[in-house]
Structure 1
Amino acid sequence: MARAFGAEPGGILGLDALLEEHGEAIEYDLIALGLRLRMLGTDALGWTDLRAIVKHLPMESALLRVMYPEASRWQTAEHLLADVADSLHWLMWARTDDGRRGRNRPEPIARPGLKSDRERVGTATQLDQMNEFLGWHE
């Protein structure tokens, strides 16, 4: 119904859907703030308050851990440690015969949301994706 009036879905309906799916995690985050979900709709916790809380939850929050389990485990420190480990692997490899010949490169540590070179699709598929992106459909 919100779309019929030109508005994007969200607001109370979006919060209600989020509560339906992840109510327990939201309750936990509210408890950490000294609030309770049962207060929703009162002066203590209005819908706009809940929206602001949910919108600005830190990555360590229960809600974001439930919604994005893989990404929530990878904070800045984990990314930096993976970069250090990848650099050390690359430096060790560079000193080998394979490294001097540029073959058998070490695989980087898998990170959430990124595919390794071995998981990436072949050249033909990449060309198809580029043609689609450029609008050159067959």
Structure 2
Amino acid sequence: MAEALRCRAGGIAGLRRFLEEYGEAVEWDIARYWPGRSLLELYRGEMSWRELRVFLRFLPHDSATARTLRGATPEEDAWTLDRQLLATIADAVRESTFTAVKLHGDPKKTGRLKPPKPIPRPGVEEPQKTNVIRFGGRHGSGAKQLAQVFGRPAANQ
């Protein structure tokens, strides 16, 4: 936040340009972080430009002004570092529970269990389905699939 203010040097004129571009976000943050104050006080002479500059310089990372400067979407902003870590822990617990049930459960009952999908996160795409070659069972020996992968005819054809 402070870097954005510094790169727009120019004192009061710079702050005016900043307010022209980000005024709504600043107005929202003043109402949220500075109860009882309003951006109108600046124009009435009840707030100094210095007070506004100091307020803007020390706004927290999750303020509306900082989010607007970063151009972050609300979904991206909702996923802070602590939420990312919590989702990682939740995924690990779910995978661990799945593994314990598969290893120690009745194979007849747990045979069709599928591993849990990770919690969706913004900017992370779901893994694509892979070409899994299955041997035996209802899918056959897999010789045809292997032959396609390596570009040769299957031995039993």
Larger Rg: 2
Q: TM-score, normalised by structure 2?
A: 0.45
- The TM-score normalised by the length of structure 1 is 0.49
Which structure has more RCO (C-alpha within 8 Å, separation ≥ 6)? 2
